[in-house]
Amino acid sequence: MSQQHHDLASCVLGALERYFRDLDGEKPAAIYDMVIRSVEKPMLEVVLEKAGGNQTLAADMLGINRNTLRKKLTEYQLL
């Protein structure tokens, strides 16, 4: 595992630990969607910026289809 991957995983782990600690007896719900939405939007923003706004290049950097990228950009209102 690369150091950067480890750092990201540590951040997510820490955030989840705080989430569960802060529940204070409340029942957790929709954790998967919460984590994905929390990580996906900033990832798309950074990659698109690094690609100079080029969606084809950004999709290639992400390893996803350009149509999938456009769908996600629309979903997060990043277009």
| pLDDT at residue 3 in the model | 73
- Answer yes or no: are the C-beta atoms of 59 and 66 closer than 8 Å: yes
Q: What is the CATH number of the domain that holds 65?
A: 1.10.10.60
Distances (CA, A) of 61 to 37, 57, 65: 19, 6, 10
Q: What is the pLDDT of residues 24-65, one digit of tens each?
A: 889 999 999 999 999 999 999 999 999 999 999 999 999 999
What range does the domain containing 8 cover? Answer: 3-75
What's this model's pTM, rounded to 2 decimal places?
0.80
Domain count, the chain: 1
